Amino acid sequence: MFKNHPKIDVEPNDFDRKLILAGWLLVALNFILVFSFYASLPEVIPTHFNIKGEADGFGNKSTLWVLPILNLVMYFGMTMLATKMKPWNFNYPTKVTEKNASKIYAISIRMLTWLNLGIALIFLVISLNAILMAKEVNHFSIGWVIIVLLLAITLGPFISIFKMFKVPKS
């Protein structure tokens, strides 16, 4: 399945580590947000929203804890993927050679850290949106923020792939 990519170890650089730390802070903030508002929420809260941002699914307020817990599990898994898995085990859209491997591998690590940060931010925004809707703060819709974030994390990997194609092969 994997090609014989050069086995060159590339670690996350300082900026990548700062992105990872920022993501951990977002995960912690998600827990703090839910914990801070949990006691004041009604027993039944919105759990699903349609494309217009209107609540169309409801559940017990304890279901709100699913978001930060899932955020934690996913962030941990993606962080391990970006920092512990050897980059030569990934698939790449371009030929990886001894000369370009370190650059290509660094781009893939950066892509994973940005993607992970974006996902953590989306979970935080979804938690905030659920809390605002449960507290009936209807004059402030953040559904558009979620759409912008989804577009950004969708486009991010394409930008990284474009950068990989620009790296000289020899």
Domain that holds residue 156: 31-38+66-170
In a domain, 113, yes or no: yes
The 8-class DSSP code of residue 49 comes to: E
Which tens digit of pLDDT belongs to each residue from 27-77? 999 999 999 999 999 999 988 877 777 778 899 999 999 999 999 999 999
Q: How many domains does the chain have?
A: 1
Q: What is the pLDDT of residue 25?
A: 98
Cα separation, 32 vs 68, in Å, equals 9
Whether 59 is in a domain gets the answer: no
CA distance 74 to 79: 8
pTM above 0.95, yes or no: no
Residue 75: inside a domain, yes or no? yes
Distance between CA 149 and CA 143 in Å, rounded? 10
- Assigned token pair, 15: 């900026």
Following CA atoms 103, 105, 106, 111 in sequence, which dihedral angle do they give, to the nearest 10 degrees? 130
Residue 12 lies in a domain: no
Please report the pLDDT score of residue 146 as a whole number.
79
* 97 part of a folded domain: yes
Is 26 inside a domain boundary? no
> Does 149 map to a domain?
yes
In a domain, 5, yes or no: no
Tokens 């577009």 sit on residue = 151
